[in-house]
Structure 1
């Protein structure tokens, strides 16, 4: 059973707590869908000022919507298109302070103003991306980037 804990201490302490919660949630769970669903719910409960968090999974040719928290979203994203498709194609994290300035941004929610996308990679294989949107410009900083990359690494090892 998951029990919400207060996130106390400095940000690094809070990040460490969430990473431990993730490990506990996915431990010995073979279902990728269940693990992705719980991971998106965990981030949604922890991160303030976000309006969408979830996953797009690589099906071999494009990204397809996976488990998420937020409003209904775009179902398919071509590789190399928008922030998600670009992060997937380049297999690197992308932080966008103002999505309206990103060439080819795919707007699924008009309220989104900033975004971070972290690729999920097993060895050389792209599994998908973790996508988080915020209504605030400049919402995601370097510390959160590092935390989310760690989060994605732990999660991907269990997929």
Structure 2
């Protein structure tokens, strides 16, 4: 895993002055995909107020589930609880939604007011407490950038 400050600094430099939320999320997911070893999906699910669900946002990886209900699966649980979900074996997670059968571990960082950052790995127990710290800081940096967008809208 990259150093926390380095990864956040890379993101901040990459997105400096950007106000388009799709561009912000697309490049953030690309940076994670290029930086993190042993992952097979990195991206965002965005909360849709109208439908009261998480909708697929910009990502890097195989095709993904398009809609997730709050409280359902790892992403929905992270969104509903506002807590990072670091899951060593997704097949043991109650209600896990298998978008890609090759995924074995997952970490989801809530982005309050927007949705979640989701990263999957084909390895079991891929994400450590140190990874959680780095990715939480990364999520906060993404959220700060989104907060600066006009109308704070990603929909």
Give the TM-score of the pair, scaled to structure 2.
0.90
For 1:90, the equivalent position in structure 2 comes to: 81
What is the count of residue pairs matched by the alignment? 144
Find out whether 1:105 has 2:96 as its counterpart.
yes
RMSD after superposition = 1.0
For 2:7, the equivalent position in structure 1 comes to: 18
For 1:136, the equivalent position in structure 2 comes to: 123
CA distance in structure 1 between the aligned counterparts of 2:129 and 2:4, rounded to whole angstroms: 13
The answer on whether the counterparts of 2:46 and 2:116 sit within 8 Å (CA) in structure 1 is yes
The answer on whether the counterparts of 1:26 and 1:155 sit within 8 Å (CA) in structure 2 is no
Task: Kindly state the Cα deviation for residue 108 of structure 1 after the two structures are TM-superposed.
Answer: 0.1
Q: 2:105 aligns with which of 98, 105, 114?
A: 114
Find out whether 1:53 has 2:53 as its counterpart.
no
CA distance in structure 1 between the aligned counterparts of 2:15 and 2:98, rounded to whole angstroms: 31
For each residue in 1:83-133, what CA deviation from the matched residue of structure 2 results, as whole angstroms up to 9, or x when unmatched? 000000001100000000000000000000000000012xxxx21100000
More contact order relative to length (CA 8 Å, sep ≥ 6): 2
Task: Kindly state the Cα deviation for residue 17 of structure 1 after the two structures are TM-superposed.
Answer: 1.8
The answer on whether the counterparts of 1:115 and 1:140 sit within 8 Å (CA) in structure 2 is yes
Give the TM-score of the pair, scaled to structure 1.
0.88
Task: Kindly state the Cα deviation for residue 27 of structure 1 after the two structures are TM-superposed.
Answer: 1.3
For 1:33, the equivalent position in structure 2 comes to: 22
The answer on whether the counterparts of 1:118 and 1:149 sit within 8 Å (CA) in structure 2 is yes
For each residue in 1:22-45, what CA deviation from the matched residue of structure 2 results, as whole angstroms up to 9, or x when unmatched? 001111110011000000000000
4+ long deviations beyond 3 Å: none
Find out whether 1:76 has 2:67 as its counterpart.
yes
CA distance in structure 2 between the aligned counterparts of 1:17 and 1:149, rounded to whole angstroms: 14
CA distance in structure 1 between the aligned counterparts of 2:41 and 2:90, rounded to whole angstroms: 14
SS at match of 2:114: strand
| Consecutive unaligned residues in structure 1, runs of 5 or more | 1-10
The answer on whether the counterparts of 2:75 and 2:116 sit within 8 Å (CA) in structure 1 is yes
